[in-house]
Structure 1
Amino acid sequence: MRGILASSIGVTCAAALALPLAPPATAADPGPAPTAEAATRAAVTAQHDVPGSTQSLPLRPLTRDRASGSAVLGLAPRAVRHFSLLGVIWDDPADELHGRVQVRTRAAGTGGWTGWQDVETHYSDHGADPDSAEGSSDGVHGATAPLWVGESDGVEVRVQPGPGAEEPGAEEPEGGDHSVLPPGLRLELVDPGDDTQESPRSGPMSAEVSAASAVNSALAPLGATEIPALNGEQTREELLTLRGARLTEQQRAKPYIGPRPAVVTRRGWGADESLRETRFVYTSKVKAAFVHHTASGNNYTCAQAPSLIRGFYRYHVSSLGWRDIGYNFLVDKCGRIYEGRAGGVAKAVKGAHTLGFNTNTTGIAVIGSYGSKKPSASAVKAVARLTAWKLGLYGMNPRGKTYLTSGGGNLYRKGKKVRLNVISGHRDGFNTSCPGGKLYKKLGTARTTAARYQGR
């Protein structure tokens, strides 16, 4: 799979820092000091730093957990190349990380270290369906959720095994030894790169950039950085152009569709189109929308949202081995909507967002963590505007229900027909806390508002 690119993954074993910091409660001796050769290698690497890359650092034993006696893995404080987003991955995507992942990072601008931050360990529910070509590829890895930390140049991490960090609302998994961490644990440090370098706004476009833009050619000119909003009448006229042959007489006479919202294209947020697989994968229709949160924290500005999306994209492709970013759309806390997986925003692009229910659905991720924090009114409104238009293209009522066939998961066996809301939360299709309790409670508002936008 093209997602695992050797050129995009730099393994950096940089010098451990002598820091005036108290050791973590479960940490032990940080280990021997690095050799002069290692320090020199780190310095040379820094001199040739290229924005837009991933550092992959293997985790090693730090100490043993006092309660279980199992090894606590991690990394002692160390200098690294600049990065802004991180996550922990492991070899087998079928394995679960039962335990607690905590990190501290050093801000590149001030040199100040953060306190310990928890990384969401449950992320297997975001992904391609188990038996799909994308989900069963040899290059796919298990992973935590990504965490946005801002531009940083130092990191410390510890991974403590045990069932104590189970996801809120999830049932205790049966069987297995939770004191054993999955093999191949690595810390991924993602530099999302600079948008002007990753996706130039001028000059000739590559074949990959042209292809990603051409699938939206009915909506915006080739190379556009944004698909503009339309009013209601313009949207209804466009519906007849896009899907006229598939509409019933009743749908032609009175189409229920919300005005098309503005959507920032992949070129607009600076996607490096050389990372993803070149082909696009489609399903037959869009019968439902699953709403997610990215679980990446809320410490970002809306101006930084394109950087976060580039980070998610690199993490999904270069670290997790997916063919492209998993979500079909993303929404920031200011209510701006972004194109996710390539293939065309008006088309039924198959994503990797709701394990077991990626067929005939679209995945919308609100950037942030909404377990204890309420989503902004702007973000909820954007979800309503987007679903009113996207579901309207396929004749779906946002306040209605529909049947989907499960591709397999921890709530529904493969092949089972399930009746779900046309606008559902991730937890409706998989036993997970996503999209966070606070965002999940707003889905009723999104359904009602979306139906109103459709004229129902």
Structure 2
Amino acid sequence: MRSRRVWGAAAAVAAGLSGVLVFQGVTGAGDFGTGGEAKGGPVRTDVRSAGLETSADGRSAALGQRDTEPFSLLGVTWTDPAARVKATVEARTRGAESGRWGRWLTLDGDTGQGESGAERGGTEPAWVGPSTGVEVRITAGGRSSGKLPAGLRLHMIDPGKGDARSSAMEPAAFAVETGEPSASGEPSPTEPAPSEPAASEPAPSEPAPSEPATGESATSEPAPSPSTASPEPSASASTSPIPSTSPSPSATSTVPPAPPSSMPQPPVTSRAQWGADESISPEEPGYLPGGKVKAVVVHHTAESNAYACADGPALVRGIYAYHVKTLGWKDIGYNFLVDRCGVVYEGRKGGIDRPVMGAHAYGFNGETTGISVLGTYTDIAPPEAALTSVARVAGWKLGQYGVSPTGTTTLTAGAGGTNYFGKSWAKGAQLSFPTIHGHRDGYNTQCPGNAFYAQLPNLRKWAAGPVAGLTITSVSAPKSGTTHYTKAALAVGWSATTPSSLIKGYELLVDGKPAVAVAGTATSASTNLALGSHSVAVRATHHSGSTSTSAAVTVVAETTAPAFTTRPTLALRTGTVNTTAVPVTLSWKATDNAALKSVRLTAPASVTYATTSTSAARTATSGVATAWNMTAYDVAGNTGSASGTFTPVILQETSAVRSGTWTTKSSTSYLGGKSYSSGAKGASLTWTFTGRSASWVVSRASTSGQAYVYVDGVKVATVDLKSSTTKYRDAIWTKTWATSAKHTVKVVVVGTSGRPAITTDGLVYLK
């Protein structure tokens, strides 16, 4: 019987259902949290185990609710490494701090027969956090043939406490390293190593070892002395057991080179940094027989979401101990592990930049690398930080070998198998896989979970590039129609759906040429434009070198100020006249060579008008010279101003030259408190003034008559003063000239039948 190492299972002394499980540590037991401290060195992990009681029909098993020494990770194993548990495996624990029992966790069926020479089969381990109590139940359901495998045991792992080097634990999702690994020498030809007998079952001539019964102590081999760092790959790797699905590298094969990648290497927390105890896995690493990674297999560790980011190193140590100490693997199965915060951890030793043989994808370990995200992602996808780190690691590893993350590859099955979707194949079959695929594509497992699996198409795009979803989100230059305008300065903002850590940089393009280059974390850039019309876009460069360009926007740079082709001008208009509010019309005309934005009256009031407006009804104070100031603004921010000064003057009726009979009326409703009234046909009033606009002001009622209006001796209008409502100080007639000049306005009573009288308040003119 060949065995890589024997990790003895501890015995359980049960004192009834609520008894305390007392364990004998398998690698130098000690109190929880003591002896396992490390200051930048290896961290000791303790594994304790207890046998499960199987029912008479072999279709259920259980471990009653028990008190335990503290632990944080658990898993269930069985004697035959090749056996699969066709049953529901559940466990629950009692929190060390809360003292409360948690929910039942369902453990994923098995680890996937990852390593040849493995001593036991087992479920995926589950991180439960510091716990001091446990209960397990396994049921085969209604299947009559669904008997459980022999030798069921629960393993509880205390991952120890380590002084994690936080500076090395930078999330790959949020850090970019620009250096590329240099290539080493070429690999030497290799030959397959002789096959070795399986370590999991005894030879027919040997008696099978019995599982320790309850109350018995298991034996263990002395542990090798601990080392403090991961061994460096040597020029001549020792012969070591590797996954049964691929040929073994020869004992004299050289370490394969580390080719440069088209993608930068993300930050990776080394084994020494997460506290790997190298003494428990002393064998030399193995490498892919072909020396090339052809695909990346994505995993999750299952039932491990309830952990803090600071727990990442401990969780990795727990998985490491479970794979090595309980399953009998030579090392942790995954090449890389990623926590939910995006921190990447080195998995199996041998050099992260080398094609290290992992034990993660039964039948396809010989051509792939494995990345596992710590957590269960059946119903919820991993956080973006974790997905981004997986994309970065996958892109970097595939980039070392010229493999497209969005392509497909052909893998040779090292063993017959069936995947999650029911597809089966024989050993040696040539199968097509996406170059980044889920564990379920090559093995009958739910891994990496439905929600995570649904993210793989997007993850492939992130890893390969180009940058997706690149869109200009803001332009500092105001917009008119489809064109933006500025004097010269321009700031452009953008967004992309590809995470920034996968982006090498951005360029602001002006007329197709780079004007500004910024980092991949930037979301805006500024520049100054030359006068004229320009096409402006943003170009993103993925770390793979692929580029994408946003839709362009048109930006015009211009410095010509708007002009007033018609300066601000007043004209009298109809309406009620008061000494403080004479009705006037303000007129103007503003233009711009590019795009007018608005026109503002800044004095004597503050009003903004639309670019299409050329006039507005206003009022002015009589007897006061008032400046009417206006400013025109174009979209680029240029301005032009103009003004005009005008004085409305009220000429009372007493200042007119009279003919005929007129009587005086008094009322506070009249301008100045008095007015003239006449019903005598031909009676007239004449005013002489120098101005550019005039309005006749009257009182009106239902009995008011008509009058003729003469301007400079010429009859220009017949005005009817009749009104259904009584009105006072009503500017009923107006006249405006292009320029200011001397004019006369004469009103003559018509003598209308039945209503001959008219009442006048005077004349207003504008100078």
**Which residue number in structure 2 is paired with residue 344 of structure 1?**
351
**Which residue number in structure 1 is paired with residue 601 of structure 2?**
none
- Alignment equivalent of 1:187, drawn from 154, 157, 160: 154
For residues 405-431 of structure 1, what are the alpha-carbon distances to aligned partners after superposition, in whole Å with 9 as ceiling and x for unaligned?
Answer: 111122331111112111111122123
Aligned equivalents of 1:57, 1:82: Cα separation in 2: 14
Aligned equivalents of 1:329, 1:279: Cα separation in 2: 18
1:3 and 1:317 in contact (8 A); partners too: no
**Which residue number in structure 2 is paired with residue 265 of structure 1?**
270
Structure with more relative contact order (C-alpha pairs < 8 Å, separation 6 or more): 1
- Alignment equivalent of 1:454, drawn from 521, 540, 544: 544
Aligned equivalents of 1:149, 1:296: Cα separation in 2: 8
Deviates more, 1:46-55 or 1:358-367: 46-55
Higher Rg of the two aligned structures: 2
**Which residue number in structure 1 is paired with residue 329 of structure 2?**
322
Aligned equivalents of 1:396, 1:228: Cα separation in 2: 24
1:316 and 1:326 in contact (8 A); partners too: yes
**Alpha-carbon offset, residue 392 of structure 1:** 0.9
Q: Secondary structure at the match of 1:427?
A: helix
Aligned equivalents of 1:449, 1:425: Cα separation in 2: 16
Q: Secondary structure at the match of 2:324?
A: helix
1:79 and 1:154 in contact (8 A); partners too: yes
| Aligned residue identity for 1:437 | N
| Aligned residue identity for 2:127 | W
Aligned equivalents of 2:29, 2:280: Cα separation in 1: 23
2:93 and 2:128 in contact (8 A); partners too: yes
**Alpha-carbon offset, residue 126 of structure 1:** 5.4
- Extract unaligned runs of 5+ from structure 2: 37-44, 188-259, 419-423, 466-542, 547-767
Aligned equivalents of 2:66, 2:389: Cα separation in 1: 40
1:3 and 1:275 in contact (8 A); partners too: no
**Which residue number in structure 2 is paired with residue 98 of structure 1?**
86
1:243 and 1:393 in contact (8 A); partners too: no
- Alignment equivalent of 1:280, drawn from 269, 280, 285: 285
Query: How does 1:226-245 map onto structure 2 within 5 Å?
Result: 234-235=179-180, 238=181, 241-242=182-183
**Which residue number in structure 2 is paired with residue 413 of structure 1?**
426
For residues 307-360 of structure 1, what are the alpha-carbon distances to aligned partners after superposition, in whole Å with 9 as ceiling and x for unaligned?
Answer: 111010000011111110000001111111110000000000000001000012
Q: Secondary structure at the match of 1:373?
A: coil
Aligned equivalents of 2:325, 2:23: Cα separation in 1: 27
Aligned equivalents of 1:282, 1:40: Cα separation in 2: 37
Aligned equivalents of 1:228, 1:377: Cα separation in 2: 11
**Which residue number in structure 2 is paired with residue 147 of structure 1?**
126
**Alpha-carbon offset, residue 140 of structure 1:** 2.1
Q: 1:140 to 1:58 in 2, by over 3 A?
A: same
**Which residue number in structure 1 is paired with residue 13 of structure 2?**
13
1:15 and 1:79 in contact (8 A); partners too: no
Q: 1:127 to 1:151 in 2, by over 3 A?
A: same
Query: How does 1:33-52 map onto structure 2 within 5 Å?
Result: 48=31, 51=36, 52=45
Q: 1:71 to 1:274 in 2, by over 3 A?
A: same
Q: Secondary structure at the match of 2:179?
A: helix
Q: 1:16 to 1:348 in 2, by over 3 A?
A: same
Aligned equivalents of 1:306, 1:446: Cα separation in 2: 24
Q: 1:109 to 1:448 in 2, by over 3 A?
A: same
For residues 279-323 of structure 1, what are the alpha-carbon distances to aligned partners after superposition, in whole Å with 9 as ceiling and x for unaligned?
Answer: 110011111111111113311111101111101000001111111
Aligned equivalents of 1:53, 1:146: Cα separation in 2: 15
Report the count of equivalent residues: 372
**Which residue number in structure 2 is paired with residue 60 of structure 1?**
53
Aligned equivalents of 1:228, 1:296: Cα separation in 2: 22
Q: Secondary structure at the match of 2:393?
A: helix
Give the share of equivalent positions with the same residue, in percent. Answer: 42
| Aligned residue identity for 1:83 | F
Q: 1:273 to 1:46 in 2, by over 3 A?
A: closer
1:15 and 1:78 in contact (8 A); partners too: no
Q: 1:365 to 1:126 in 2, by over 3 A?
A: farther
Aligned equivalents of 1:157, 1:40: Cα separation in 2: 17
Aligned equivalents of 1:189, 1:40: Cα separation in 2: 10
Q: Secondary structure at the match of 1:454?
A: coil
Normalising by structure 1, what TM-score? Answer: 0.75
2:335 is the counterpart of 1:335? no
For residues 94-119 of structure 1, what are the alpha-carbon distances to aligned partners after superposition, in whole Å with 9 as ceiling and x for unaligned?
Answer: 22212222222111122221232222
**Which residue number in structure 1 is paired with residue 76 of structure 2?**
88
1:86 and 1:189 in contact (8 A); partners too: yes
**Which residue number in structure 1 is paired with residue 531 of structure 2?**
none
Normalising by structure 2, what TM-score? Answer: 0.45
2:444 is the counterpart of 1:437? no
Query: How does 1:317-396 map onto structure 2 within 5 Å?
Result: 317-396=324-403
Aligned equivalents of 2:102, 2:369: Cα separation in 1: 36
Aligned equivalents of 1:39, 1:331: Cα separation in 2: 34
- Alignment equivalent of 2:435, drawn from 416, 422, 440: 422
- Extract unaligned runs of 5+ from structure 1: 19-32, 129-134, 165-175, 202-223, 247-254
Aligned equivalents of 1:347, 1:40: Cα separation in 2: 40
Q: 1:386 to 1:11 in 2, by over 3 A?
A: same
Q: 1:274 to 1:256 in 2, by over 3 A?
A: closer
Aligned equivalents of 1:150, 1:306: Cα separation in 2: 13
1:264 and 1:338 in contact (8 A); partners too: yes
- Alignment equivalent of 2:145, drawn from 149, 156, 177: 177
Q: Secondary structure at the match of 1:318?
A: helix
For residues 225-270 of structure 1, what are the alpha-carbon distances to aligned partners after superposition, in whole Å with 9 as ceiling and x for unaligned?
Answer: 56998967532xx3xx225869xxxxxxxx8611211000001111
2:89 and 2:138 in contact (8 A); partners too: yes
| Aligned residue identity for 2:160 | G
Higher helix proportion (structure 1 or 2): 1
| Aligned residue identity for 1:234 | G
**Which residue number in structure 2 is paired with residue 125 of structure 1?**
112
| Aligned residue identity for 2:66 | R
Q: Secondary structure at the match of 1:263?
A: coil
